[in-house]
Amino acid sequence: MTAIEARPQNMALAQPGDFSREQIDLIKNTVAVGCTDLELALFLEVCKSTGLNPFQKQLYAIKRKSGREEKMTIQTGIDGYRLIASRTGAHMGTTDPEFGPIKDGYPEWARVIVRRLVQGHIADFPATARWSEYVQTKDEWVNGQRTGKKTVSEMWTKMPHTMLGKCAESLALRKAFPAELSGIYTAEEMAQADNPAPPPQQTQARTVDVTRQIAQATNPNAALEAWVVKIGEAGTKINRWGGRERAVAALAHFPDWRKDVEQARAAYEALCEVGRQIKEEQAAAQDVPPFDVAPAAEAQELLLSDGQRKALCAHASRAGAKTSEDRAALWAYLLASDKPEGTKTLTVEQAQRLLDTISGMDTHAAEQTLAEARNEFKPIAEVA
């Protein structure tokens, strides 16, 4: 009898009829967000073949950009890999990771050996994961602008040996159990897939409106004129709310806002802050939700993209964040904010920082982080 035939009889595997229509809809809206019907069908088949339970977040699907398209990657945590290997009855143990020399504060490589029973003999399946190939990085931001440099993400900075060791163990387990683990990747292995791509040469690092680029190419003052228009819109709103004097006082700090782009940008942000203060004061007096001054063109450009929002919601579901309050607490905890952060109000920079951090966590770590966030922010005053 081969090792595969020796599978324990009490192993709980999903069967073709295990998922009801309601359960499939639940999966599509939680652990397989954004998947097409064909991708969802493939994901369900993998759930059935591996015996991993998507409702316990043992398996989930992540959509990632690949060229102009989004492709699905089926992921699990390292615990899911260990569970699949254990259920075969042929897993004979895994060594502790062995690490290479330290370079720039991080191990150059990690090596793990998985032992499997093959035709009555114990065979070794070694694998090596190199730091340069698996480390998750993020863009460096200074004063709201990308510098063009990459830095190591928070989780990989905090636990470099643990993260690289998990990658090496994943490689070794997949070598030892290719039939069982083919097409499934651990979150630690795929963290590098979320690394920001290097910006093309001679292009701006941040996304801009193409129409605005053309306008600025033909009119060097187009950017300044755009800010002046936004300042006028913000000033009109503030004046309508009875804050004319406060707006004038704010603009007095930027005497050249009609001539200098940076002063115009700063003046606009100052007016936005005045507007927020006025509406918060009104909200406190009238018990109505506060309103942010946000003229559409530039303000919307600074908010997170739809793709970032969907990815964050998928990771939040994986962590067990079922409500907007949970998500607001989780984002605030990861951003080290002193108040809950609503999903829709996150900036592009904040959203990218969150994705850099949470995509490097396995399900257990994400759930633990949510528990700590709930404890930190209770009761929650703001929601997503």
Per-residue pLDDT of the chain (384 residues; tens, 9 = 90+): 333 333 333 434 444 457 888 888 888 888 888 888 888 888 888 888 888 888 887 888 888 777 778 888 888 878 888 888 898 999 999 999 999 999 999 999 999 999 999 989 999 999 999 999 888 888 887 777 778 888 888 888 889 999 899 899 989 998 999 888 877 777 666 656 555 555 555 444 444 454 555 444 545 567 777 888 888 888 888 888 888 888 888 888 888 888 888 888 888 888 888 888 888 787 776 654 444 444 444 444 467 787 788 888 888 888 888 888 888 888 888 888 888 888 888 888 888 888 878 877 778 778 888 888 888 776 533 334
Phi, psi of 139 (to 5 degrees): -70, 140
Residues in the chain: 384
Phi, psi torsion values for 368, nearest 5 degrees: -65, -40
pLDDT for 195 equals 54
Helix axes 306-319, 348-358, angle to 10 degrees: 40
Measured distance CA(295)–CA(227) in Å, rounded: 11
pLDDT at 12: 42
The residues facing 233 across adjacent strands are none
> For position 296, what pLDDT does the model report?
41
Taking alpha carbons only, the member of 158, 180, 170 closest to residue 78 is: 170
Strands 109-118 and 91-94: antiparallel
Q: How far apart are the first and last CA of the chain?
A: 56
**What pLDDT does residue 242 have?**
83
**Cα separation, 297 vs 227, whole angstroms:** 10
- Tokens representing 150 are 């990459």
Q: What is the per-residue pLDDT for 292?
A: 43
Separation CA 135–CA 229 (nearest Å): 44
What pLDDT is attached to residue 223? 75
The phi, psi pair for 176, rounded to 5°, reads -75, -30
